[in-house]
Amino acid sequence: MFEATALLFTYVETPLHAGTARGLGAVDLPIQRERTTDYPMIQGSSLKGRLRAEVTARLPERVQAIFGPPTGNASEHAGALSVGDARILLFPVRSLAGVFAWTTSVDVLARFQRDAALADLRPGWQLPNGHRQNALVAPGSDLKVDGNVVLEEFSIEAREDAAVGDLAAWLAANALPQTPEYAYWREALPRKLCILPQDDFRDFLRYGTEVQTHVRLDPNSKTVAPGALWTSESLPADSLLYAPLMATRARNGLPLSGAEILQELASLGLQRTQLGGDETTGQGIVALRLHSATLTGGAA
């Protein structure tokens, strides 16, 4: 069984394309999505591969203990770290007031509470009530216009709820990066957070992602080369995801407990990394925050 657990929060700073190869719909290169909910996600194998690359570069003597041996020697022993899928927690949507809103829904928050309990974390906020028809906002929200929240072309009746402010305060303190450049965003989160009815939130996740058109030009004619026009989907900047991390004792002979495995990961001081495709065009830059009840100080 796992000896230690944590949550890894991933804040998207530039559009992120964690793809699934060719799609069958209007977008040629769609992003990864959950089968039952159609919510965007990042598969745990993608996140684990990125973390392994960072540990290899910064702490090479611990790679096999944390992640196991290379694929060719995988039968020797398993790694000590298990990485879950990164799930959506907050999704940015254009707003008539306040520029944009960080949106979520009660079912997403309920699932987050369940995953947080797996990581032995007990967030100090409660799920709000009355979420089926209203957009719930904190008192003093920037998003209200004549009693409504207007997101894209949709208007939803707004209702103030102090529970939204409690949730925003917890996320600002525990999920967002604590570096100085995020001070404004931590302060703005309570004013921009909106809890939507679950069907409305699902629809924004389906149709509110960023779709980029790509072309490759013929170097002689300077026109689009045959077959070189395609579209790709990305999670927009300012999305927030989280993934559970679970650790056992090292299996390669090193005397490292599960808690020490997570502490080794935290000791990297990893604040940013790159996920997904289009790395050479600056896509997929994310800020990371590791939060655990077993780590020294509770967070890294």
Q: What is the pLDDT of residue 37?
A: 95
Give the largest CA-CA distance in the chain: 64
193-196 and 100-105 beta bridge pairing: parallel
Task: Report the predicted TM-score, pTM, of the whole model to 2 decimal places.
Answer: 0.92
The mean pLDDT of 271-300, rounded to a whole number, is 82
Q: What is the pLDDT of the chain when averaged over all its residues?
A: 91
Q: Tell which residue, 240, 242, 243, 241, has the closest CA to residue 81.
A: 243
130 pLDDT tier (thresholds 50, 70, 90): low
What distances in angstroms separate CA 102 from CA 20, 89, 92, one per listed residue? 26, 9, 5
Q: What is the DSSP letter of 60?
A: G
Q: In this predicted structure, what is the pLDDT of residue 293?
A: 74
How far is 223 from 225, CA to CA, in rounded Å?
6
Backbone torsions φ then ψ of 53, nearest 5 degrees: -60, -40
- Segment 50-58 mean pLDDT: 95
List, in order of start, the domains of the chain with CATH numbers: 1-18+44-84+237-300 (3.30.70)
User: Which range (13-17, 28-32, 74-78, 132-136) has the least confidence?
Assistant: 74-78
* HEC secondary structure over 102-120: EEEEHHHHHHHHHHHHHCC
Across residues 175-190, what is the average pLDDT?
96
Q: What is the pLDDT of residue 21?
A: 66
Helix (H, G, I), strand (E, B) or coil at 52: helix
The whole-number pLDDT of residue 50 equals 95
Nearest to 101 by CA among 43, 138, 142: 142
pLDDT in tens, 214-226: 888 878 877 778 7
Residue 14's pLDDT band, with cuts at 50, 70 and 90, is: very high
Segment 258-272 mean pLDDT: 92
Cα-trace Rg, the chain: 21
* Average pLDDT rounded to a whole number, residues 54-77: 88
